[in-house]
């Protein structure tokens, strides 16, 4: 019984860690998209001002 509980705890920890990694990946994707938009915006502004 204790072994089953340990296995269950391990699985729930694995699921939690996978979820956290996925959230961090989504945050990173969002941050990269924001950065990309900022770079495009600055390029556009420099073209307008040149």
**CA pair distance 41, 20, nearest whole angstrom:** 31
Q: What is the pLDDT of residues 1-50, one digit of tens each?
A: 888 888 888 899 999 999 999 999 999 999 999 999 999 999 999 999 98
Q: How many CA atoms lie within 13 A of 30 on its CB side?
A: 6
Q: Is 50 helix (H, G, I), strand (E, B) or coil?
A: coil
* DSSP, res 20: H
For residue 5, CA distances in Å to 8, 9, 15, 17, 31 come to 5, 6, 15, 18, 39
Predicted TM-score (pTM) of this structure: 0.66
């Amino acid at each position: 019984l204790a072994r089953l509980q340990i296995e269950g705890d391990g699985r729930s920890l694995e699921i939690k860690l996978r979820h956290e990694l996925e959230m961090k990946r989504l945050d990173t994707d969002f941050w990269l998209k924001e950065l990309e938009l900022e770079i495009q915006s600055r390029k556009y502004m420099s073209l307008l001002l040149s």
